[in-house]
Chains A and B, each alone.
Chain A
Amino acid sequence: MKPGFSRRRILGNLAGTLGAIATFAVAKKAKAAVQKVLVTSDAPKGYDPHQHQWLMAIDVDRCIGCGHCVEACKRENHVPEEPWYFRTWIERYVITKPAPGSAQSRGEVFVFSPNGGMRKPGEGQPKEPPVDLPPKEEVQHSFFVPKLCNLCHHSPCAQVCPVGATFDAPDGTVLVDPKYCIGCGFCIQACPYGCRFLNPITKTAEKCTLCYHRITRGLKPACVEVCPTQARIFGDMKQAAPDDPIRQFFQNHRVQCLKPHLGTEPRVLYAGLDKEVR
């Protein structure tokens, strides 16, 4: 044996190390418990995610494109005003009549979403950037489509997150954990509906949370709250009675989803869509 090494010393060192590890482990559990108490003091009490299955549905025929929802969402969730980031937005579709004499069924399709469709008070249509709408006589169909996270059954965004920062919550929402997200942007690339963005201030991914902090307190999402025409229908599929608006919606409307060929099985369904809507 080399001088300086003795069996006793080695065993002592080993025991010391194991003891330190055990102490740290206990301390870690204690810290976690304290953290949980402190953080959740503001959270709604007694909310069990397994008791709910939140869902939003869109009635395209009822949307008047006022942009109240876009503004309310930005205010409610402190989304950066500029540059153009939106958790929800409105798209305007304008389909013109076919040129006279042509054998086409439809003319051209134009899609706009100036400033996400958000109109400032005092504005009719957003002025910036200027939008050239075709004149009224040339229009065959024109409508607004609200867009948001499609709450996919098989979320491609949650599938590709490398660390588990974005996930399908048990209550039907798809959330981002802002304390854990590393800001790689893979989920933003993977979302086929363009509903995610990288928040330039927090440098984490962000998206519609169905106003999680509201629905867990029995409130409605901000966009649903301010919609003047009930174009957005919100409900809890686990607890909705047959006369609940969301059940009535599915009872009364035939519905479509966006990009069905991708297999994401979006749960947000639209009534009154057109083939041109992506």
Chain B
Amino acid sequence: MRPFRMPPQILRLVLLTVGIVTSYLIARFFLTPASFGELGWFRANALMEIASAKPVYAGKKACDECHSEEYQKLSQAEHKSLSCEACHGPGAEHADNPDIHKMTILTFSHCVRCHEADPSRPKWHKQINPKTHYPGQVCTECHVPHQPNEVP
């Protein structure tokens, strides 16, 4: 019985294969990012990384801290469902530094955005046609935005 001698081609190829697979496994160990697989097939650290962005809008409650008078007025009438920032724009910067970052005081153009008559808007929503509803006048002459059921 001839003793089994590994053919040279096979030996070289097996060595090469083992080398390639080993390098792959080592590379995989080092290149897999930290926290990968802890919560699922993703980097668990990503959750907190995404959550660490700074908010741009402060949220209605943040306005109440300093502007409680307007906040109270707002809660009396139809605009109570509105957030301050819907009309006045993002407020996180202002909430952090009220003196440096000022908010905008609005004029007529903003009211039209919600209250212009549009056939796709539901019927219960109050709408006017800006061309025929007291054209040339500013909304705030007759309406109080913070408390729409009042007259100025």
Chain B interface bracket (under 10, 10 to 19, 20 to 34, 35 or more)? 35 or more
Distance (whole angstroms) from the CB of B87 to the closest CB of chain A: 9
**Which of B36, B48, B82 is packed against the most chain A CB atoms within 10 Å?**
B48
Q: Which of B49, B81, B120 lies in contact with A43, CB distance below 8 A?
A: B49
Give A225 to B33 CA distance when docked, in angstroms: 35
Closest residue of chain B to A230 (Cβ to Cβ) is B81
Q: Chain A interface: which of B10-18, B65-73, B108-116, B132-140?
A: B108-116
A136 contacts across to B, CB distance below 8 A: 119
Distance (whole angstroms) from the CB of B119 to the closest CB of chain A: 5
Contact status of A213 and B52, CB under 8 A, knowing A36-B45, A64-B114: yes
Interface residues of A, count at CB 8 A: 73
A144 contacts across to B, CB distance below 8 A: 120-121
Distance (whole angstroms) from the CB of A230 to the closest CB of chain B: 6
Indicate if the CB atoms of B51 and A216 lie closer than 8 Å.
Answer: yes
Give A214 to B59 CA distance when docked, in angstroms: 10
Contact status of A175 and B47, CB under 8 A, knowing A32-B35, A228-B86: yes
A68 contacts across to B, CB distance below 8 A: 86, 113-114
Indicate if the CB atoms of A165 and B83 lie closer than 8 Å.
Answer: no
Indicate if the CB atoms of B81 and A123 lie closer than 8 Å.
Answer: no
Give A32 to B59 CA distance when docked, in angstroms: 34
Interface residues of A (CB under 8 A from B): 21, 24-25, 28-29, 31-33, 35-36, 39-44, 47, 49, 61-68, 72, 75-77, 92-94, 119, 121-125, 133, 136, 139, 142-144, 164-170, 175, 177-180, 209, 211-214, 216-217, 219-220, 222, 225-230
Interface residues of B (CB under 8 A from A): 26, 29-30, 33-36, 39-43, 45-57, 59-60, 79, 81-83, 85-86, 90, 106, 109-110, 112-114, 116, 118-122, 125, 130
Given contacts A122-B110, A179-B46, 11 further A-B contacts (CB under 8 A): A25-B29, A35-B45, A36-B35, A39-B45, A68-B86, A142-B120, A144-B121, A164-B40, A179-B49, A180-B43, A214-B55
